[in-house]
């Protein structure tokens, strides 16, 4: 009898649990027809065209056709918003902390809109968003750096066309238009189809990349800061040959110049110095699919130089076998084994006490630090390099499952207001910033333990200010002044110097608006081919360099690189008539 009961209980429990698991599937298929639940709002939205112009005739205490009364929803709306989760050591819960609660409260007070954050891993964001879109559970407001991905979603019917939505509701988003301008809002407008799948964000700091060198090593060896490639090479040789002096027992760990498997990024200043400084906007755009400058004129010669350095023992030998999020290189730099490297213009200053410069100072004294240098001259003797463009950063889009497009627009409006951004970036005085007594600059600091919930999981809460990347205070002059003070635990003078070095002879890339490039949504692993060629070419023997590079380039072009170049050239020509060609 006991056995019988047990069998029945087990069977029942299992069946129920299976049913519970299985039910998630039918549930998602039932949302296959989002139309059913959203028809009402859809029709409401589509009648907006006429309604929004009529709003003046509506009585003052009646909501308009969009459900808004004095810019606030009469009945509470609910939207979901994507937020990167960086899984920061010592950080707070990405989707639930003082900042997200502040946003939620503000949105509710101002617009009667409930905001729910959907966190996706920063480093697998595109995989996560793919899955969320495929399962029709994507947040109402999504953002990504990758326009090609949005285009792919749009081709599959997964994205709302923002052009008509903005036209009908322009009155709701004045701050967004103020902040981004028509140029940015409509940058991705397809000139022929008239569709707008995404709204570009804006960068408020355009410094991009710098080369850094150990100042204390230069001093120890009595060397000046290098100002040309030849001088830089000599410094690297001096580092290599004086490893015993500089590192003592650890001499074998000496790495004069370190790069990573991502050569196109980690040698960007070198590559850009080999490009023609007089390159036309068209040529730059045509080769611009690849932000690693792979197909640019001159890149091969830059890599040839790296290849020579590699074979001369000036570059970290093992760079290519450490992939992905491997922190080996960072650890080497922090341990003090590396003489020079190229990276984000503020890389040694990031992360407060854990920053590279703060770590070095703690071990070897305040003199031990990396400083930014300009040492890769172009053919005219200038330090041509590319900064970021103001226009074009993260792109915001609304998936087709968004049934609150108007409430979502209001969120963008809220995020574009200068006061919102300022508060998210610098918060309350005494909590995450102080005011520098001498200069009046805003100095950002980490919150103390009592205010740990105000910890910024991303620098200046960049992940929350979705259409603003970079310090943006309500007072532009104060913004400029405070830039160098926005890193805790490092010397602001070093930051200021790095900013100046990064902006010396920096060119702002043109961001033309020529419509979608279909070839960029073809599924090929071009980035992989690019990195493989970069890595193989750097590590090849000097004699094999040409054949390795040429074979890799041919494969890249054949796999779709050439198709993109051709289509970009055609799109450019179609948009800008021949007489406008620069």
The Cα 273–Cα 296 span in angstroms is: 11
In whole angstroms, how close is the CB of 536 to another protein at the nearest point? 6
Does 346 bind another protein (CB under 8 A)? Our answer is no
Closest Cα to residue 385, out of 513, 500, 261?
Answer: 500
The Cα 371–Cα 348 span in angstroms is: 9
Which residues are CB-neighbours of 555 under 8 A, at least 6 positions away?
A: 529, 533
The Cα 570–Cα 385 span in angstroms is: 27
Does 248 bind another protein (CB under 8 A)? Our answer is no
Closest Cα to residue 396, out of 198, 262, 148?
Answer: 198
Q: Which of 55, 104, 106, 130 binds another protein (CB under 8 A)?
A: 130
Name residues contacting another protein, limited to 553-572 (CB under 8 A).
Answer: 558-559
Does 355 bind another protein (CB under 8 A)? Our answer is no
Name residues contacting another protein, limited to 270-309 (CB under 8 A).
Answer: none
CA–centroid distance for 529 within its chain: 22
With contacts defined by CB under 8 A, name the span among 131-139, 207-215, 290-298, 450-458 that binds another protein.
131-139
Q: Which of 201, 394, 539, 556 binds another protein (CB under 8 A)?
A: 539
Tell me the β-bridge partners of 395. 144, 200
Q: Which two tokens stand for residue 400?
A: 């087709």
With contacts defined by CB under 8 A, name the span among 285-293, 320-328, 367-375, 441-449 that binds another protein.
320-328
Backbone angles phi, psi at 48, to 5 degrees: -55, -40
Which residues are CB-neighbours of 407 under 8 A, at least 6 positions away?
A: 73, 77, 78, 79, 111, 113, 140
Does 78 bind another protein (CB under 8 A)? Our answer is no
Does 532 bind another protein (CB under 8 A)? Our answer is yes
Does 15 bind another protein (CB under 8 A)? Our answer is yes
Smaller CB separation from another protein, 35 or 59: 35
Does 9 bind another protein (CB under 8 A)? Our answer is no
Does 16 bind another protein (CB under 8 A)? Our answer is no
Q: At what angle do helices 299-311 and 229-241 cross, to 10 degrees?
A: 20
Q: Which of 536, 546, 562, 563 binds another protein (CB under 8 A)?
A: 536
Does 318 bind another protein (CB under 8 A)? Our answer is yes
Does 219 bind another protein (CB under 8 A)? Our answer is no
Which residues are CB-neighbours of 313 under 8 A, at least 6 positions away?
A: 240, 256
- Alpha helices by DSSP H, listed for 199-292, are 215-220, 229-241, 243-247, 263-266, 268-274, 281-286
Does 171 bind another protein (CB under 8 A)? Our answer is no
Smaller CB separation from another protein, 120 or 501: 120
Smaller CB separation from another protein, 14 or 542: 14
Q: How many CB atoms lie within 10 A of CB 75?
A: 7
Does 11 bind another protein (CB under 8 A)? Our answer is yes
Does 531 bind another protein (CB under 8 A)? Our answer is yes
Footprint of another protein (CB under 8 A): 3-4, 7-8, 10-11, 14-15, 18, 21-22, 25, 29, 32-34, 126-127, 130, 133-134, 136, 149, 152-153, 156-158, 252-253, 261, 317-318, 320-323, 326, 328, 400-401, 521, 523-525, 528, 531-532, 534-536, 539, 558-559
């Amino acid at each position: 009898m006991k056995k019988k009961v047990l069998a029945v209980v087990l069977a029942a429990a299992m069946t129920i649990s299976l049913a519970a698991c299985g039910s998630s599937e039918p549930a998602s298929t039932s949302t296959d027809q989002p139309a059913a639940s959203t028809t009402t709002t859809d029709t409401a939205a589509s009648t907006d065209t006429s309604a929004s112009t009529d709003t003046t005739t509506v009585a003052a205490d009646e909501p308009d056709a969009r459900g808004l009364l004095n810019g606030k929803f009469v009945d509470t709306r609910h939207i979901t918003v994507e937020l990167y989760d960086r899984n920061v050591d010592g950080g707070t819960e990405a989707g639930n902390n003082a900042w997200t609660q502040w946003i939620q409260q503000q949105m509710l007070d101002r617009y009667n809109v409930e905001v729910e954050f959907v966190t996706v891993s920063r480093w697998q964001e595109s995989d996560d968003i793919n899955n969320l879109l495929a399962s029709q559970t994507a947040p109402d407001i999504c953002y990504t750096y990758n326009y090609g991905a949005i285009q792919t979603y749009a081709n599959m019917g997964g994205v709302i066309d923002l052009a008509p939505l903005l036209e009908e509701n322009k009155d709701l988003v004045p701050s967004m238009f103020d902040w981004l301008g028509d140029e940015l809002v409509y940058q991705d407008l397809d000139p022929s189809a008239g569709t707008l799948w995404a709204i570009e964000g804006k960068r408020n700091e355009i410094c991009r990349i710098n080369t850094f060198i150990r100042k204390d090593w230069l001093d120890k060896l009595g060397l000046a800061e290098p100002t040309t490639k030849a001088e830089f090479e000599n410094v690297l040789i001096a580092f290599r040959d004086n490893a015993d002096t500089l590192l003592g027992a650890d001499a074998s760990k000496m790495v004069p110049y370190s790069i990573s498997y991502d050569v196109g990024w980690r040698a960007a200043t070198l590559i850009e110095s080999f490009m023609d400084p007089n390159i036309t906007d068209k040529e730059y755009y045509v080769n611009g699919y690849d932000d690693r400058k792979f197909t640019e004129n001159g890149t091969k010669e830059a890599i040839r130089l790296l290849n020579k350095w590699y074979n001369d023992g000036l570059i970290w030998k093992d760079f290519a076998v450490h992939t992905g999020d491997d922190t080996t290189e960072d650890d080497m730099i922090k341990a003090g084994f590396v003489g020079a490297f190229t990276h984000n213009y503020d890389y040694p200053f990031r992360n407060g006490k854990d920053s590279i410069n703060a770590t070095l100072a703690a071990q070897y004294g305040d003199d031990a630090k990396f400083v930014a240098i300009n040492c890769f001259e172009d053919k005219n003797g200038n330090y041509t390099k590319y900064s970021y463009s103001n226009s074009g950063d993260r792109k915001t889009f609304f998936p087709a499952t968004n049934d609150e497009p108007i409430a979502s627009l209001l969120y963008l409006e809220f995020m574009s207001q200068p006061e919102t951004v300022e508060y998210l970036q610098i918060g309350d005085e005494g909590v995450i910033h102080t005011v520098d007594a001498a200069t009046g600059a805003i100095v950002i600091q980490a919150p103390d333990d009592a205010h740990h919930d105000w910890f910024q999981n991303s620098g200046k809460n960049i992940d929350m200010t979705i259409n603003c990347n970079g310090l943006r205070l309500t007072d532009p002059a104060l913004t400029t002044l405070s830039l160098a003070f926005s890193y805790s635990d490092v010397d602001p003078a070093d930051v200021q110097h790095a900013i100046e070095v990064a902006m010396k002879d920096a060119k702002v890339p043109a961001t033309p608006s020529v419509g979608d490039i279909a070839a960029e949504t073809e599924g090929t692993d071009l980035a992989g081919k690019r990195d493989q060629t970069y890595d193989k070419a750097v590590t090849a023997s000097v004699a094999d360099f040409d054949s390795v590079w040429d074979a890799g380039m041919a494969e890249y072009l054949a796999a779709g690189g050439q198709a993109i170049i051709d289509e970009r050239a055609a799109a450019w020509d179609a948009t800008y008539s021949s007489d406008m060609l620069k």
